[in-house]
Structure 1
Amino acid sequence: MTKQKLTDKEITTAIAKLPEWKVVDGKLNRAFKFDSFVAAFAFMTKVAFAADKMDHHPELFNVYNRVVIDLATHDVDGISNLDIDLAQKINDL
C-alpha cells in the first residue's frame, strides 16, 4: 500500500469515523483501559501482529492496565492513510 500524507481536512473526516481517536502533537492518539495488566498486554500483542502485517508500526505505551497508542508515518512527516487504516484495525480488535 502506498503511503499518502493526509490533509487536515482528510484527517478530520477520517477520525470522525474512528471513535475515541484524536490528534495529539501531530499523531493519531487513543488510550485504552483494561481490567488487568495481562489483558492490556494481550491487546498490545494483537496490535503488534496487525501492525507487523501492514509493516506499519505504532508507538505503544503501557502502564499496568492502560495502553496509549500514537500513530504517525515518519516517512511522510505526518498522518497518512496507513495510520487511519491501522487505527480502524485496532478499533476492530
Structure 2
Amino acid sequence: MFVLELTYTAPVERVDALLDAHIEWLDAQYAAGVFIASGRKNPRDGGVILAAGADRERIEKIVAADPFTVEGVCAYRVTEFYATKTADELAPYREQLPS
C-alpha cells in the first residue's frame, strides 16, 4: 500500500485552476481500483491519497500523470508500507510482510 502526500509548490489559485482536471484523474484511479481514499490536508497546503493494489513503478507513473504534477503545482512524497492490520472493512487490503 502507498501513502501519496502532495505538497503545493504554487499559489493555491494555480492549484484551484487545475482542480477539475485533478478530480478527473482521481476518479480514473478510483475506477481502476488503485485509490481507496483521498483528501485535502488541513491546513490546505496539499493532500493525501491512499493507494493499493499496485507496485511502486505503477504508482510513480500514476503520480507523473496527475495534472498537478504535469503543471508543476505540487510535489509528491510516495511512502510504501505493509498494511498488516486494518479495520474489518479494509480486510481486502491487508498485506503480509515479505519473507
Higher helix share: 1
- Structure whose alpha-carbon radius of gyration is higher: 2
TM-score by length of 1: 0.41
TM-score by length of 2: 0.39
